[in-house]
Amino acid sequence: MKKLKNLSFKIYFLIIMGLIAIGVIISFSFYAKKYYFNSYSIMYNLNRLENAENRLNYNLLSSSLFLYYNNDKISKKINRIRALIEELESNEFFKSHYKDAYKDFLNYKKAFERKEDLIFEFMRYNLPIKNSLIYLANSLKFMKLDSTNIKYVMNVLSSIFLSKNTGDLVFLKEIGDLKELEKFKNSPDEYKKAFIRNLMIYIKYYPLYRKYLYEIINSSTYINLKSAFKKFKTTLNRDLELFKILSYILIIFIITLIGLLILVVLRLDEKIRDVYFLLEHDSLTGLKNRYKLNKDIKKIKTPAVILFNIDKFKNINDYFGSKIGDKLLNDVGNNLKNFFKNFDTSIELYRVGADDFAAVLDGKKYKDNELEKIAKKAIDMLEGEEFKYNKTTLNINLSAGISTKEPYLENADMALKQVKKDIKEKIKFFKKNLNNDIEKNIKKSKEIKEAIESNRIIPYYQPIFDKDKNIYKYEVLCRVIINESNIKSIYEYLDILKENKMYHKITQIILKYSLEKLKEFKDLNLSINLSVEDVLNRDVVNFIKKEFTKQDIAKRITFEILESEVENYEALKEFIKKMKKYGIRFAIDDFGSGYSNFSRVLKLDIDYLKIDGSLIKNIVEDKDSQLIVKTIISFAKSSNKKTVAEFVHSKEVFEMTKAMGVDYFQGYYLSEPKPNINL
């Protein structure tokens, strides 16, 4: 139970873990998607920014190289970079997640703002320089030049060309030193004047143009952007590594989870198999159980059931303890199983009750008489076996009921009950009329109830004789008057009475009759049967205390108690002890049948032992009976008890028992029971 609880806890644990895993996967993929999307957009924009930067520098260089240039290209690039910067700057993910890169990016932004100013500045020198260049080049066509002038102009132009293309300021210094400059300034030729003006602008603007161009080209924007990009990639790689580790962990976690799940499922499977085994098997003997029998029997078309029962197993359990009882059951079960295994492997054995074993056979294979033979063989085998447990050696008797009719087990059980009622038989085949038992029982129950109500319960008296055939006392027997010609012994009603808890009523009736007789005949001694149930019944006990403890009554009374019925041993012992104070005597009835326990009888402080009829009946021929009776007599003598032989049905029996030392005799040979007492 604890293990199952443990298992279900594990299952819940796995479910929770599974849910956590799913949650982690979902949030992980959600985050990863968001991360990927944002990072991709940042990287894409950084890339575009880098490209735009390169394009801008290219455009600026082109603008400085070509005299004619579409400046839209530059200003458009500037606006584009601004837009990209704005977009990146407002990207919260960039700001919060790529802190280092973002910091560099902000530095880049500052650098770009500076660069933008530089570009505007640069353009303010770049364009006039170009205009001057255009004019200086064109002016050759307009100016009227003599040979010295030409040389001067050519020198100027070559210096300008060299300065523009080398980027070296040295060439400009040469121009300023030339004396011809002044002549041009004062010349009436407007073109010459314009030539000088443009030259001056060129000389004035070129160093600034050059300074700004270099400043722009060497601006830190590129370094900052590169650094931002590098740091972005570092963070990105770190994150990707983290993602990788995380997904490994997740995979390991899920694999572990699946492994655990498989383990739990296997365990559960094992448990289910265990439960199934327990469901279908008896834990004591390992045999299959009643549930399995009911299941299996459906698979056979014409089944036959032999139901075995250990006779008086309850006594064995009581006397030797349940430990030995359990061992015995186990051994009996396994012996039976082996017996059938050797006999026919198709026969299955089940333990269907405490000491009930059922063999299920195929009815087609075995005829009815063969079934009986099998049962007999099995019983013989087990009865011949000695079961040894430490110092105890046990022999057992078995009975069997057989059925080939539905309901098999119930019918076999009914047949078995029938066996128990009949001492002579050990095996009984279920027949339809057995089924009538129930009806019979109902009928009997009705009969006995009516008999009690209409005072048709009467006592019979059977004298008990001493060795000289003098009447020593009478045993009070009970008869039921069915009608005038049919008077039955109470014997056949005993079971019903006990079942219906009416037995004490009969005892009370008999006690009343007995009391009348005792009052009527002052010398009369009576032996009255008391069941253990009576001893426990308050009405009966009160009646006995009230009426039978008077001195002249008590000493003439003997109560006969059936030893095998004793369940509440202490209560009985107490009762006997109390009653003996008043002089009432006690006898053990049917002593020697079943499991008579000498030591217990000794403790009960009994006066008489009534030797069981089955021992007396065949005593003349049966050596075993003789031996047992001898033992009982010697036991009685040595413990100061008198013996009574029942069932003395012939002269031979009388003589033999007398010779063996029995004290009193009872039986048809001497006198049958009579409704009245003849003194």
Partner 1 sequence: MFILFFVFLFAQEPIDPIPLKIKNINKEKAILGKILFFDPILSKDKKIACVSCHKPQCGGADCVQYSIGVFERIDKPMNSPTVYNAVYNCWQFWNGRAKDLKEQAMMASHDPEEMDMDKKTLEKRLNSIPKYKSLFKRVYNKDYITDDMVYDAIEEFEKTLITPNCRFDQYLRGDKNALSEKEKRGYFLFKSYGCITCHNGINIGGNSFQKLGVFIKDIKIPRGLDRYEVTKRKEDKYVYKVPTLRNIALTAPYFHNGSVKSLKKAIYLMGKYNLGIDIPKDDINYIEAFLKTLTGETPEILRGN
- Judged by CB under 8 A, does residue 177 bind partner 1? no
Closest distance of CB 131 from partner 1, Å: 4
Closest distance of CB 133 from partner 1, Å: 8
- Judged by CB under 8 A, does residue 117 bind partner 1? yes
> Interacting stretch for partner 1, rule CB under 8 A, among 115-123, 241-249, 314-322, 328-336?
115-123
Of residues 68 and 146, the one with the C-beta less far from partner 1: 68
Closest CA to 11 of 275, 257, 270: 257
Of residues 141 and 623, the one with the C-beta less far from partner 1: 141
| Phi, psi torsion values for 492, nearest 5 degrees | -70, -10
Of residues 198 and 224, the one with the C-beta less far from partner 1: 198
> Interacting stretch for partner 1, rule CB under 8 A, among 77-85, 330-338, 489-497, 647-655?
77-85
CB 224 within 8 A of CB 133: no
- Judged by CB under 8 A, does residue 161 bind partner 1? yes
**Among 8, 47, 51, 70, which residue interacts with partner 1 (rule: CB under 8 A)?**
70
- Judged by CB under 8 A, does residue 131 bind partner 1? yes
CB 305 within 8 A of CB 403: yes
**Among 45, 57, 75, 220, which residue interacts with partner 1 (rule: CB under 8 A)?**
75
- Judged by CB under 8 A, does residue 6 bind partner 1? no
What does the alpha-carbon distance between residue 71 and residue 403 come to, in Å, rounded to a whole number? 117
> Interacting stretch for partner 1, rule CB under 8 A, among 118-126, 229-237, 408-416, 421-429?
118-126
Residue 362 forms beta bridges with which residues? 303
- Helix intervals (H) in 66-146: 72-89, 92-97, 99-142
> Interacting stretch for partner 1, rule CB under 8 A, among 72-80, 219-227, 298-306, 588-596?
72-80
CB 69 within 8 A of CB 63: yes
- Judged by CB under 8 A, does residue 140 bind partner 1? yes
* SS3 at position 99: helix
Of residues 9 and 66, the one with the C-beta less far from partner 1: 66
- Judged by CB under 8 A, does residue 157 bind partner 1? yes
Of residues 72 and 453, the one with the C-beta less far from partner 1: 72
What does the alpha-carbon distance between residue 506 and residue 32 come to, in Å, rounded to a whole number? 93
| Phi, psi torsion values for 536, nearest 5 degrees | -90, -10
Of residues 9 and 120, the one with the C-beta less far from partner 1: 120
Closest distance of CB 27 from partner 1, Å: 34
Torsion of CA 659, 660, 662, 667, to 10 degrees: -70
- Judged by CB under 8 A, does residue 166 bind partner 1? no
> Interacting stretch for partner 1, rule CB under 8 A, among 76-84, 486-494, 570-578, 669-677?
76-84
- Judged by CB under 8 A, does residue 79 bind partner 1? yes
Closest CA to 288 of 298, 276, 299, 302: 276
- Judged by CB under 8 A, does residue 71 bind partner 1? yes
What are the Cα distances from residue 78, in Å, to 42, 56, 57, 116, 444?
19, 7, 10, 7, 121
- Judged by CB under 8 A, does residue 72 bind partner 1? yes
Distance of CA 661 to the CA centre of its chain: 67
- Judged by CB under 8 A, does residue 85 bind partner 1? no
**Among 19, 134, 258, 279, which residue interacts with partner 1 (rule: CB under 8 A)?**
134
**Per-residue string for binding with partner 1, 39-68, x by CB under 8 A?**
---------------------------xxx
Tell me the site size for partner 1, rule CB under 8 A. 38
Of residues 91 and 132, the one with the C-beta less far from partner 1: 132
Tokens for 61? 């260089």
Closest distance of CB 65 from partner 1, Å: 8
Closest distance of CB 108 from partner 1, Å: 19
**Among 7, 11, 38, 69, which residue interacts with partner 1 (rule: CB under 8 A)?**
69
**Per-residue string for binding with partner 1, 190-209, x by CB under 8 A?**
x---x--xx--x--------
What does the alpha-carbon distance between residue 443 and residue 166 come to, in Å, rounded to a whole number? 142
Closest distance of CB 265 from partner 1, Å: 57
Closest distance of CB 130 from partner 1, Å: 5
- Judged by CB under 8 A, does residue 642 bind partner 1? no
What does the alpha-carbon distance between residue 460 and residue 479 come to, in Å, rounded to a whole number? 7
What are the Cα distances from residue 407, in Å, to 294, 298, 412, 414, 677?
10, 11, 8, 10, 51
> Interacting stretch for partner 1, rule CB under 8 A, among 8-16, 153-161, 351-359, 581-589?
153-161
- Judged by CB under 8 A, does residue 467 bind partner 1? no
Residues whose CB is less than 8 angstroms from the CB of residue 497 and which lie 6 or more positions away in sequence, other chains included = 448, 490, 503, 505, 506
**Among 10, 48, 82, 649, which residue interacts with partner 1 (rule: CB under 8 A)?**
82
Closest distance of CB 106 from partner 1, Å: 20
- Judged by CB under 8 A, does residue 525 bind partner 1? no
- Judged by CB under 8 A, does residue 133 bind partner 1? yes
What does the alpha-carbon distance between residue 332 and residue 396 come to, in Å, rounded to a whole number? 9
Closest distance of CB 78 from partner 1, Å: 7
Residues whose CB is less than 8 angstroms from the CB of residue 388 and which lie 6 or more positions away in sequence, other chains included = 394
Residue 288 forms beta bridges with which residues? 281, 350
Count the Cβ atoms, other than its own, within 10 Å of residue 22: 11
CB-count burial class (<10 Å; 0-12, 13-18, 19+) for 178: middle
Of residues 80 and 431, the one with the C-beta less far from partner 1: 80
Place of tokens 């019944």: 537
What does the alpha-carbon distance between residue 308 and residue 361 come to, in Å, rounded to a whole number? 14
What does the alpha-carbon distance between residue 555 and residue 549 come to, in Å, rounded to a whole number? 9
Count the Cβ atoms, other than its own, within 10 Å of residue 386: 8
Tokens for 16? 């929770």
Nearest-10 crossing angle of helices 408-421, 436-453: 50
Closest distance of CB 66 from partner 1, Å: 6
CB 514 within 8 A of CB 556: no
CB 394 within 8 A of CB 328: yes
- Judged by CB under 8 A, does residue 123 bind partner 1? yes
Contacts to partner 1 by CB under 8 A: 66-76, 78-79, 82, 117, 120-121, 123-124, 127-128, 130-135, 137-138, 140, 157-158, 161, 190, 194, 197-198, 201
